[in-house]
Amino acid sequence: MTSAGAGAPVRAHEEALVGERARAVLALEDGTVFEGWSCGARGEACGEAVFNTSLCGYQEVLTDPSYAGQIVTMTMPHIGNYGINGADMESRGSFAQGFVVRQMSRITSSWRSESSVTEFLVSQGVVAIEGVDTRKLTRLLREKGAMRSVISTLDLDPASLVAKAQASPGLVGRDLVREVAVTRSFEWGSEDPTGCLPIDTGVLPVVPAYRVVAFDSGIKFNILRRLSEAGCAVTVVPPTTTASEVLELGCDGVFLANGPGDPEAVDYLYSTVGDLLGVVPVFGICLGHQMVSLAVGAETFKLRFGHRGGNQPVMNLLTGQVEITSQNHGFCVDFASIGPLDVERSGGLGLDPADIAAWVRAGVAPVVTSEAHGAVQLTHVNLNDMTVEGVRAIERRAFSVQYHPESAPGPHDSRYLFDAFRALMDGREDYLSVSDPRFASARGRGVRGEQQA
């Protein structure tokens, strides 16, 4: 058995690599090159260059399987201060292709620290670079969008690395879910098929109130902890599990997790979701939200630079409440593509369903009609760029959000959604009215539109 801890001790020959300040180069497909120093494993890695604005939580970022295929830049200039510890792992290891920082701390100052970030990166084989002007890099990615890139400590020739970046695969059309998911089912609280047993499983229910099947498309440990603490016994299944196999498990609800890559490439999963809608309650997060949306007929598109960080404002259109959320996604749902507007269920307004800002200004949660699954409502909106952050299939007992209510790392404003899932499994129609007590005064305001609960 292996433990999902902070990584194996650094071997003797690797200790020498950590101690030396080897040169490293980051090259982008547009020809931009950044020189710096290695602060991780030696080698070369290609991936999509993205940035994350979180001030802390770098370990959770590195161990989030959703970052598979990506080279992550932290905008916080000083990384590594509190080290790495086994309890903060979000999966069995690191899935990021590479890591970019302004300055990596050589000192760890925390009683919980078990290793430095550099030691962890070396143990996980993650190529990393420090000494980069991350402000310049972030501005570049905001202006031009996420780009293919390469980090190398082996090849330091700028022209060669730019050519490698240009020749590397992007994320559009790529199914990375199969690369990060388990291949056999397991019960949360026991070893997974790789032999990994998390140090912290959260509070496991002695007598579960619900049995939930969770599809692993890159699921984070804290999602499973939150489901468990909500009274659910959770069976984690591979993403290729069929609807009939799920129903044979006798579950009260189905959960769809986060994950990497292009959602439209994961057709086998959203096809299964389509078979489950209306049969069993469904809750989706991040990629799971995209799976629900694709199942009801939506299209998805790639954002220019995505949402990654712990400070994204999202409005719940059903309550008027604004949540500060943790996010990590590069693709988005096109709500208007689901079907025609249901004017009567949309507060009697005939606004363009694609003009999300207009619906926010009107205080209405619009409803469109899916040919296969009936009424679908826009429930949550990102207030920074007016993109879709949540939907629900009203007649199919299903809802989903684009962001991460499990908050690892990030604010806890959205943890009420796990209680909403409980309420949905209990058969309540007003399940999305379940909210954090701190916002109780906002619950009664409501807005116009279908089932404004």
Q: CB within 8 A of 367, min separation 6: which ones?
A: 341, 342, 345, 346, 375, 376, 377, 378, 394, 449, 450
Half-sphere exposure of 286 (CA within 13 A, CB side): 32
For residue 132, give both structure tokens. Answer: 């980069």
Percent of the chain at pLDDT exceeding 70:
91
286 is catalytic: yes
What's the mean pLDDT in 114-139?
A: 97
- Alpha-carbon distance of 308 to 203, in angstroms, equals 28
- Alpha-carbon distance of 255 to 287, in angstroms, equals 11
277-314 CB burial, b ≥16 within 10 A, e <16:
bbebbbbbbbbbbbbbbbbbbbebebeebbbbbbebeb
pLDDT digits (tens, 9 = 90+) for 291-318: 999 999 999 999 999 999 999 999 999 9
What's the mean pLDDT in 109-120?
A: 96
pLDDT digits (tens, 9 = 90+) for 71-86: 999 999 999 999 999 9
For residue 119, give both structure tokens. Answer: 């030691």
In this predicted model, which residue has the larger pLDDT, 241 or 443? 241
pLDDT digits (tens, 9 = 90+) for 142-183: 999 999 999 999 999 999 999 999 999 999 999 999 999 999
In this predicted model, which residue has the larger pLDDT, 413 or 444? 413
344 is catalytic: no
- Alpha-carbon distance of 408 to 307, in angstroms, equals 15
What's the mean pLDDT in 236-259?
A: 97
What's the mean pLDDT in 181-197?
A: 90
232 is catalytic: no
Please determine, for residue 451, whether its predicted confidence score (pLDDT) is greater than 70: no
Considering the candidates 289, 329, 373, 404, report the single residue annotated as catalytic.
404
- Alpha-carbon distance of 405 to 84, in angstroms, equals 23
pLDDT at 20: 59
Query: Cβ(318)–Cβ(432) under 8 Å?
Result: yes
What's the mean pLDDT in 182-200?
A: 89
- Residue 205's pLDDT band, with cuts at 50, 70 and 90, is confident
What's the mean pLDDT in 213-225?
A: 96
Report CA dihedral (43, 47, 53, 59) to the nearest 10 degrees.
-50
Please determine, for residue 18, whether its predicted confidence score (pLDDT) is greater than 60: no
pLDDT digits (tens, 9 = 90+) for 346-385: 999 999 999 999 999 999 999 999 999 999 999 999 999 9
**Cα separations (Å) of 153 from 22, 36, 37?**
7, 10, 8
Q: Which of 402, 317, 319 is nearest to 366 (CA)?
A: 317
Concatenated DSSP letters of 116-129: -HHHHHHHHT-EEE
* Sign, Cα dihedral of 169, 170, 172, 178: positive
CA 223 to chain centre: 10
Considering the candidates 90, 286, 323, 332, report the single residue annotated as catalytic.
286
Q: CB within 8 A of 165, min separation 6: which ones?
A: 27, 28, 29, 46, 147, 148, 149, 150
For residue 42, give both structure tokens. Answer: 């030696």
Q: Which amino acid is at 12?
A: A
Predicted model pTM = 0.91
| Mean pLDDT, the chain, whole residue set | 91
In this predicted model, which residue has the larger pLDDT, 178 or 448? 178
Contacts 24+ apart (CB under 8 A), 7-14: 7/84, 7/93, 7/115, 7/119, 7/120, 7/123, 7/124, 8/123, 9/115, 9/123, 10/115, 10/119, 10/122, 10/123, 14/122, 14/123
pLDDT at 445: 32
**Cα separations (Å) of 79 from 10, 74, 105?**
20, 8, 6
Query: Cβ(258)–Cβ(288) under 8 Å?
Result: yes
pLDDT at 351: 97
CA 6 to chain centre: 21
pLDDT digits (tens, 9 = 90+) for 314-333: 999 999 999 999 999 999 99
pLDDT at 430: 87
Contacts 24+ apart (CB under 8 A), 243-246: 243/272, 243/275, 243/276, 243/279, 246/213, 246/272, 246/276, 246/280
CA 74 to chain centre: 16
Half-sphere exposure of 245 (CA within 13 A, CB side): 14
Q: Which of 383, 392, 386, 388 is nearest to 429 (CA)?
A: 392
- Residue 434's pLDDT band, with cuts at 50, 70 and 90, is low
pLDDT digits (tens, 9 = 90+) for 404-427: 999 888 888 889 999 999 999 999
Q: What are the structural domains, with CATH classification, of the chain?
A: 22-167 (3.50.30.20), 177-443 (3.40.50.880)
Q: Find the helix packing angle between 267-276 and 287-295, rounded to 10°.
A: 60
Query: Cβ(257)–Cβ(165) under 8 Å?
Result: no
In this predicted model, which residue has the larger pLDDT, 30 or 13? 30
pLDDT at 435: 58
